[in-house]
Amino acid sequence: MMKKIWIFISLLLLPSLLPLKALQAKELSQYTAIRVQKASQFAQDEKLKEAIETLSAMELSKEYDKAFVARMLGVYHWQNSDTKSAIKELTYAVDSGLLLDEQAWITQRMLADVLLNEQRFKTALPHYYALVKYAPETEKIDLLWMRIAQAEYQIGNWSNVLKAISKRDKLKPEPDLAPLSLKLGSQLQLKQWKQAIPTLESLIVLQPEKTNWWRQLVGLQLRLNQNRAALNTLALADLQGVELSDSDRRLTAQLYAKRGIPERAAQELSKLSNAHTDVQLLAEQATYWQLAREWDTSIKVWEMASKYNAKYHWNVAQLMVQQGYYQEALVELDKVKQKEKQADVALAKVRSWYKLKELENALIHAKRAEGIEASTEAKGWIKYLTQLRRIDTSS
C-alpha cells in the first residue's frame, strides 16, 4: 500500500483568506463574498464544521460562484478528513472550467493528490497529465512526473512508468531512491534485464548496505551469462561488509570454481554456518583443496569429513600415501571398511609397506590384493617383490 502523500495547500488554494475587495475583484457576487468571508473566519478559528455549514447553506445562481465555493468546500472537507466530499467538490470546481488559470491549476493539483492518496490511480492520472502540460514556471514539474510514475506503477503500466521517470530525470538528474526503485521494478516487469543493471548499480551507490540490491544485480548478471561480473559483484559486496547469506557464499564458491580458482571456492565454503559440521560441505571443501593441490589442507578436511562418514577414510588414506605419510596411511587404511574398496586398500598398503622397506608385509598384501580381485597391478607387485626378496636372501 502506498504511503500517504502529504498534500500541501498553498495560500492560493485558500482564497477565503483574501480581503472582501479582492474577492469581489475576482467577480464573486457580493452575497457570495460576504458568506465566503464568514466561512473563512470560521476556518481560521478552527471551526471547520461551521465553515462547511456556512458554505453548504448558500443558494448560488452564478456559475463562477458555484465553482469558487466548491473549491473552498473541497479544501475544508479535506481538512476535516471527509475525503469523499472533498473529491466531489474539487472535481466540480475543476470540471467547471471557470476558475482563473492559476487557481484552476492549483485546484486540479490538489484534486489529483487527494485521488492518488486515496489510491484512485486511474482517476488521478488524467489530472496529472493535464497539470504537467500547463504547469506554471514556478512549479516543480519533476514532482508531478514522479506522481505520474507512482500511479502508473500501481496499475501496472510499466512502459508509462519508464516514460514518466525519464521526464522526471531530465528535470532533476540527481539519482534518488524512489524514482530508481520504480524504474527498476518496471524494467524487471518488462524483462529489460540489460537496462536494469545500471539502475541497480545506481541503487547500490545510494544504499550500499542493502543486500537485496547486490543480489538482484548478481541475478541479472547470471541471467545474461556475465559470470565474471557476477563474481566481481559478490566479491565487492563482501569486501564492503555486506552481510552475505550461506546461499550467496555457496554461489560465490561455484563461480570461483568455474573460473578455475578452487582454493577461493574452498575458502568461501569454509565461511558457511555449517561448514564444519555438514559432511557434504566438508567433502566439497576437501575436493576443492585437492584440486588446488593444497594436499595437507585437503587431508585435514577429509579427516574432518571421515568423522561424520567413515567412507571418507579412503580419501584420507589415498592422499596420505600420495604425500608420503606411509605410517599414518596404514593406520587410516585399516579404517576403510567398504567391501568394494578392499582390493584397492590392499594395493595401497603394498605401496606403503614397500616405501617403509617392509618387503615381507608388502608381499603379503600384494598376494591379498590378488586374492580379493585379480589384477595386472597386483601380479606385477607380487613378481617384483618376490624378486627383491630373492636378491635380499642371496645377498
Task: Give the residue from 221, 226, 281 showing the smallest Cα distance to 249.
Answer: 281
Q: Give the pLDDT band of residue 394 (cuts 50, 70, 90).
A: low
Phi-psi region of 241 (alpha: psi -120 to 50; beta: other; left: phi over 0): left
Please compute the mean of the pLDDT values over residues 368-374 and round it to a whole number.
94
Residue 99: half-sphere exposure toward Cβ, Cα within 13 Å: 25
Q: What is the pTM of this model?
A: 0.81
User: Are the CB atoms for 74 and 52 separated by under 8 Å?
Assistant: no
Please compute the mean of the pLDDT values over residues 158-187 and round it to a whole number.
96
Please compute the mean of the pLDDT values over residues 372-390 and round it to a whole number.
93
Q: So what's the pLDDT on residue 395?
A: 57
Q: So what's the pLDDT on residue 2?
A: 39
The CATH number of domain 1-139, selected from 1.10.10, 2.60.40, 1.20.120, 1.25.40: 1.25.40
The angle subtended at Cα 205 by Cα 200 and Cα 209, nearest 5°, is 95
Contacts of residue 232, Cβ cutoff 8 Å, sequence gap at least 6: none
CA distance 140 to 102: 15
Q: Could you tell me the CA-to-CA distances from 247 to 84, 267, 268, 305 in Å, in that order?
A: 49, 14, 11, 21
Q: Where in the chain is the domain with CATH 1.25.40?
A: 1-139
| CB-neighbour burial class of residue 320 (10 A; exposed 0-12, middle 13-18, buried 19+) | buried
Torsion angles phi and psi, residue 391, rounded to 5: -65, -45
* pLDDT tens by residue, 18-51: 443 444 445 788 999 999 999 999 989 889 999 9
Task: Give the residue from 202, 205, 233 showing the smallest Cα distance to 217.
Answer: 233
Q: So what's the pLDDT on residue 20?
A: 39
Report percent pLDDT > 90 for the chain: 83
The angle subtended at Cα 74 by Cα 69 and Cα 76, nearest 5°, is 95
* pLDDT tens by residue, 214-269: 999 999 999 999 999 999 999 999 999 999 999 999 999 999 999 999 999 999 99
CA distance 227 to 208: 21
**Who has greater pLDDT, 17 or 64?**
64
Q: So what's the pLDDT on residue 61?
A: 85
Q: So what's the pLDDT on residue 182?
A: 98
Torsion angles phi and psi, residue 129, rounded to 5: -65, -35
Task: Give 3-state DSSP helix, strand, coil % of the chain, rounded to 5.
Answer: 75, 0, 25
* pLDDT tens by residue, 316-354: 999 999 999 999 999 999 999 999 999 999 999 999 999
Residue-averaged pLDDT of the chain: 91
C-alpha cell at 191: 524483462
**Choice among 21-30, 68-77, 337-346, 380-389 with the minimum mean pLDDT:** 21-30
CA distance 303 to 331: 13
Q: So what's the pLDDT on residue 245?
A: 95
User: Are the CB atoms for 131 and 116 separated by under 8 Å?
Assistant: no
* pLDDT tens by residue, 182-207: 999 999 999 999 999 999 999 999 99
Q: So what's the pLDDT on residue 100?
A: 82
Torsion angles phi and psi, residue 378, rounded to 5: -65, -45
